């Protein structure tokens, strides 16, 4: 699954366009490499997102095309 879509489906970022812009500005890394929005995400990947002066680091536990709001937290775990 594309990185920008995963960020939206997992609700780490609320909108896909915002996720796309974050990737374009170099604020998202996958496994310590700056990632483009089209980067493929798979289970076990470590995603780091820079929000201003705060970094959010998560590990991908599952990749699904669609998920209910309540179940979105099961797609990743905070590190």
- Count the domains in the chain: 1
| Structural domain for 58, as ranges | 3-78
Q: Is the CB of residue 26 less than 8 Å from the CB of residue 20? A: no
- Whole-model pTM? 0.92
Averaged pLDDT, 30-35: 95
Question: 75 falls in which pLDDT band (50, 70, 90)?
Answer: very high
Among residues 79, 61, 54, the alpha carbon closest in space to that of 10 is found at: 61
* CATH code for position 28: 3.10.290.10
Averaged pLDDT, 26-33: 95
**32: left (phi > 0), else alpha (psi -120 to 50), else beta?**
left
């Amino acid at each position: 699954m594309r990185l920008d879509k995963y960020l939206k489906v997992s609700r780490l970022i609320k909108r896909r366009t915002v996720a796309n812009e974050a990737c374009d500005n170099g604020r998202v890394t996958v496994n310590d490499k700056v990632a483009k929005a089209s980067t493929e995400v798979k289970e076990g990947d470590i995603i780091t997102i820079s929000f201003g002066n705060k970094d959010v680091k998560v590990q991908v536990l599952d990749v699904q095309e669609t998920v209910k709001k309540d179940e979105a937290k099961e797609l990743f775990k905070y590190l």
